[in-house]
Amino acid sequence: MSKDKKQQPTASELAILAILWDKGPLPVKTIHEKLSEEKEVVYTTILKTMQVMMERGFLDRESQGRKHIYRAIIARVDTQDRLLDSFMNRAFGGSAKALAMRALGNYRTSKEDLEELKALINKIENEDQ
């Protein structure tokens, strides 16, 4: 497995990471309950997935008696950056413009979001001068 592939969580792993990023360290039971709110998932599948995530360097575990508390050891922003870079390169030929244009064209963007985007573009343009 390539290093990049190893560092890119699957969709199931991302669902677990999102919970840990939002809520902090948790036992498997709590993560299972949270994931079960959206769709039926088997506890042992979640446990095995989290054990694999530990092996891949995504999670760490602390024992508290018979309970294991898991925490994310990869940062949300870093993970999003790696996934975005990979997606942009594969799907949009590395073009940030093509990605942004497709996103803005396909989804309703609020006036506030557009103002924030304009401010970001202005900031980037001013930094380049």
Q: How far is residue 61's CA from residue 103's CA, in Å, rounded to a whole number?
A: 37
Percent of residues, the chain, with pLDDT higher than 90? 74
- Three state DSSP letters for the chain: CCHHHHCCCCHHHHHHHHHHHHHCCEEHHHHHHHHHCCCCCCHHHHHHHHHHHHHCCCEEEEEECCEEEEEECCCHHHHHHHHHHHHHHHHHCCCHHHHHHHHHHHCCCCHHHHHHHHHHHHHHHHHCC
pLDDT tens-digit profile of 55-102? 999 999 999 888 999 999 999 999 999 999 999 999 999 999 999 889
Structural domain total, the chain = 2
Q: Return d(Cα 129, Cα 112) in angstroms, integer.
A: 26
The candidate with the shortest Cα–Cα distance to 19, out of 92, 85, 72, is: 72
The verdict on residue 32 lying in a domain is yes
Backbone phi and psi for residue 71, each to the nearest 5 degrees, phi listed first:
-140, 150
Residue 121's domain spans which residues? Answer: 95-129
Q: How confident is the model at residue 1 (pLDDT cuts 50, 70, 90)?
A: very low
Q: 17: domain CATH number?
A: 1.10.10.10
Q: How far is CA 97 from CA 28, 47, 88, 104, 105, in A?
A: 40, 40, 10, 10, 12
Residue tagged 């990979």 (tokens): 86
pLDDT given for residue 91 in this prediction = 95
57 and 108 fall within a common domain: no
Instruction: Judge whether 86 lies within some domain.
Output: no
pTM, full prediction? 0.81
For residue 87, tell me if it sits in a domain. Answer: no
Same domain, 99 and 68: no
Are 99 and 45 members of one domain? no
* Share above pLDDT 70 across residues of the chain, in percent, rounded to a whole number: 95
